[in-house]
Structure 1
Amino acid sequence: MFASSRSTVRRRAVAAAGTAVALALTLAACGSSGDSSSMPGMDHDTKASASSSRSASPSMGDMPGMDHMADGNGLSDTQDGYRLASKDTTLPSGKRAAYRFTVTGTGDKPVTGFALDQTKRMHFYAIRSDLTGFQHIHPTMAPDGTWTADLTALAPGSWRTFAGFTPDSGTGKGRDFVLSRTVTVPGNATKTPLPAPATTAEVDGYTVTVKGEPMAGMAHPLGVSVSKDGKPVTGLEPYLNTYAHLTAFHEGNQEFAHLHPTTKVTGGNGGPDLAFHAELPTAGNWRLFLQFRTGGTLHTAALTLHVG
């Protein structure tokens, strides 16, 4: 879900220069359950154990990375007649909370028809202003178009919630949108500084290595490899029609980018090497969240990337 169309990404990929930038990663990880991924530890340097997610792998379809790219940077609640609406302006601190929202369209009526994107009709993200507390959830929709995202415990502070969707009818049919709103969690909020750069990261005993030369506003390949105990991992299980899911948020304004995988899911396990189509529209530091599954467990690694 970049701020461009697929055709734009392809054109930029051809035109992209090979100028290198400083690539850096550092890790904070935690587990998740069910179809969500969250980081209940609010500190960037938290290293939590593997998650308890052991649900069945999603069905596989077309090659990942071939779906639509979202317009915009995800920082608005309205775009081209669609609006992300919610009565929730505050959420409780330190306990599970349900965030309810709707997507409205023509005549300000709730939209109820959504197309599948990476096996889901809605991708919901929550991120704290200091880029801690990441949660990736696939909410449920009631017949009236009201979505409910069940969030794990939130730390005090300002949060931004993102809804990623593709209408299957109307003026936006076939287009991917990412809209967002802010919500406040009352309490004593302490900002956690972004970690220092590094080229590898560890999560739940796995080592993640990233290679690539991303440039601001240009499409570039980004490679990720996964190993454990010094040996390549070839047991990555399909997750959301891919072997790893990668989401990024800009340090300055929480701008959103979805780095689409280009490694084809072949029907079995994958790894150790994965390829992504990376386009980060703004220079500066980005916080990347890499999700991959092994043995039915979903792992989430947090990575800091500097883009020149």
Structure 2
Amino acid sequence: MDQQAVTRATVPDRVSAAPDRGTVRLALTVGGLVLAVLLGFGLGRLGGGGPVAPVGLETTTDHTHAPGTAPHDHGAVAGQAASAEAGGLAISSAGYTLTPLASEFTPGRPGSLRFQIRDAQRRPVTRFAVVHDKPMHLIVVRRDLTGYQHLHPTMAPDGTWSVPLTLAQPGAWRAYADFTVVADDGTQTALTLGADLVAPGDYAPRPLPAAAATATVDGFTVDHQGTPQVGASVPLTFRITAGGGIPTLERYLGAYGHLVALREGDLGYLHVHPEPELVDGAARFWLTTPGPGRYRLYLDFQVAGVVRTAEFTVTVP
């Protein structure tokens, strides 16, 4: 072998020893991805320092929206198109089922309502988000829209909710469970499920009171302003007086009042958004009605530690 051949055999070829352009690009790409992940993790630790909030609960500077509701400026949307389907018409939705453990009550006798929220695998759900200061809101009303009750059950470790309940008069009653489920991955699902209860006996339904702008309860006068419109978010304002003066309203369930709206006929349950602060001394809520008809409004308000309920009938043309 000549010297030139030996040299070629023992000295690496410079072109083949250097990485090609494709290899360089791949290395740079992988390195960039690793660096981005590390930087993102570090910035997240610096910016948060704690666990990430579950997806779905959205809080703005002025009030809290239900999961799945986009933030909006109420003043800007007044009178504009909106959607608000009535809830509480079904016992099951989105894979969850309201399961009462008993549904018959003796009229006028104190009892207890026990129920579970079960998932698609029929397992009792035990993780709920706190919304309006409570993990579970239970509304009970007779089908003629009388006998309204707003209750807050307690949950046992096995996922069974219970609450004392008296159905004062015979008839068919409707119970609404208003809650937000927290899934294993942290996502939240807000639901209102409804189930029928019964108090056997002679049922004499009462006619719905005529629409009026004023209601009285326990010496308090409540004046209502605002005209609901189909498919539009509009403000409803409630001003409370007593003995010619203005009582000091106290916060109840995170706001200066809690409003429930039910539709006559099918007892559809409407979600109402409260303003967190008083507006010129009055409690204000934002309501969207899904269709024409008559609705019954139930305003819970608290004065001197006592919660009272003022009721109104509203006609939506």
Quick one: structure 1 residues 249 and 4, their matched pair in 2 at CA, closer, same or farther if it must change by over 3 Å? farther
Q: Distance in 1 between matches of 2:128 and 2:84?
A: 14
CA deviation string 1:79-115 (max 9, x = no partner): 1111111232311111111111100114110000101
**Structure 2 regions of 5+ residues with no counterpart?**
1-63
User: For residue 236 of structure 1, what is the aligned residue in structure 2?
Assistant: 249
Quick one: structure 1 residues 2 and 152, their matched pair in 2 at CA, closer, same or farther if it must change by over 3 Å? farther
1:188 match: secondary structure: coil
Q: Distance in 1 between matches of 2:121 and 2:315?
A: 42
Quick one: structure 1 residues 120 and 305, their matched pair in 2 at CA, closer, same or farther if it must change by over 3 Å? same
Q: Once the 2 structures are TM-superposed, how far is the Cα of residue 12 of structure 1 from its aligned partner?
A: 11
Is contact 1:93–1:186 with CA below 8 Å preserved after alignment?
yes
Q: What letter matches 2:70 in structure 1?
A: S
Q: TM-score, normalised by structure 2?
A: 0.73
2:122 to 96, 108, 113: 108
Is contact 2:103–2:197 with CA below 8 Å preserved after alignment?
yes
Q: Once the 2 structures are TM-superposed, how far is the Cα of residue 149 of structure 1 from its aligned partner?
A: 2.1
User: For residue 184 of structure 1, what is the aligned residue in structure 2?
Assistant: 198
Q: TM-score, normalised by structure 1?
A: 0.75
RMSD: 2.8
Is contact 1:71–1:178 with CA below 8 Å preserved after alignment?
no
Is contact 1:227–1:272 with CA below 8 Å preserved after alignment?
no
Quick one: structure 1 residues 194 and 15, their matched pair in 2 at CA, closer, same or farther if it must change by over 3 Å? closer
Q: Once the 2 structures are TM-superposed, how far is the Cα of residue 278 of structure 1 from its aligned partner?
A: 1.1
Quick one: structure 1 residues 217 and 3, their matched pair in 2 at CA, closer, same or farther if it must change by over 3 Å? farther
User: For residue 209 of structure 2, what is the aligned residue in structure 1?
Assistant: 195
Quick one: structure 1 residues 13 and 147, their matched pair in 2 at CA, closer, same or farther if it must change by over 3 Å? farther
Q: What letter matches 2:258 in structure 1?
A: H
Is 1:247–2:260 an aligned residue pair? Answer: yes
1:102 match: secondary structure: strand
Q: Once the 2 structures are TM-superposed, how far is the Cα of residue 264 of structure 1 from its aligned partner?
A: 2.5
User: For residue 303 of structure 1, what is the aligned residue in structure 2?
Assistant: 312
Q: Distance in 2 between matches of 1:97 and 1:252?
A: 27
CA deviation string 1:43-98 (max 9, x = no partner): xxxxxxxxxxxxxxxxxxxxxxxxxx997521101111111112323111111111
User: For residue 223 of structure 2, what is the aligned residue in structure 1?
Assistant: 209
1:126-275 equivalences under 5 Å are: 126-170=140-184, 173-233=187-247, 235-264=248-277, 272-275=281-284
- Percent of aligned positions that are identical: 37
User: For residue 300 of structure 2, what is the aligned residue in structure 1?
Assistant: 291
Is contact 1:157–1:185 with CA below 8 Å preserved after alignment?
yes
| Higher relative contact order (Cα pairs below 8 Å, separated by 6+ residues) | 1
User: For residue 14 of structure 2, what is the aligned residue in structure 1?
Assistant: none
Q: How many residues align?
A: 253
Q: Distance in 1 between matches of 2:147 and 2:86?
A: 23
User: For residue 45 of structure 2, what is the aligned residue in structure 1?
Assistant: none
Is contact 1:5–1:71 with CA below 8 Å preserved after alignment?
no
Q: Distance in 2 between matches of 1:103 and 1:13?
A: 37
Query: Whose helix proportion is higher, 1 or 2?
Result: 2
Q: What letter matches 2:123 in structure 1?
A: K
Q: Distance in 1 between matches of 2:67 and 2:174?
A: 21
Q: Which has the larger radius of gyration?
A: 2
Quick one: structure 1 residues 138 and 256, their matched pair in 2 at CA, closer, same or farther if it must change by over 3 Å? same
Quick one: structure 1 residues 72 and 302, their matched pair in 2 at CA, closer, same or farther if it must change by over 3 Å? closer
Q: Once the 2 structures are TM-superposed, how far is the Cα of residue 197 of structure 1 from its aligned partner?
A: 1.8
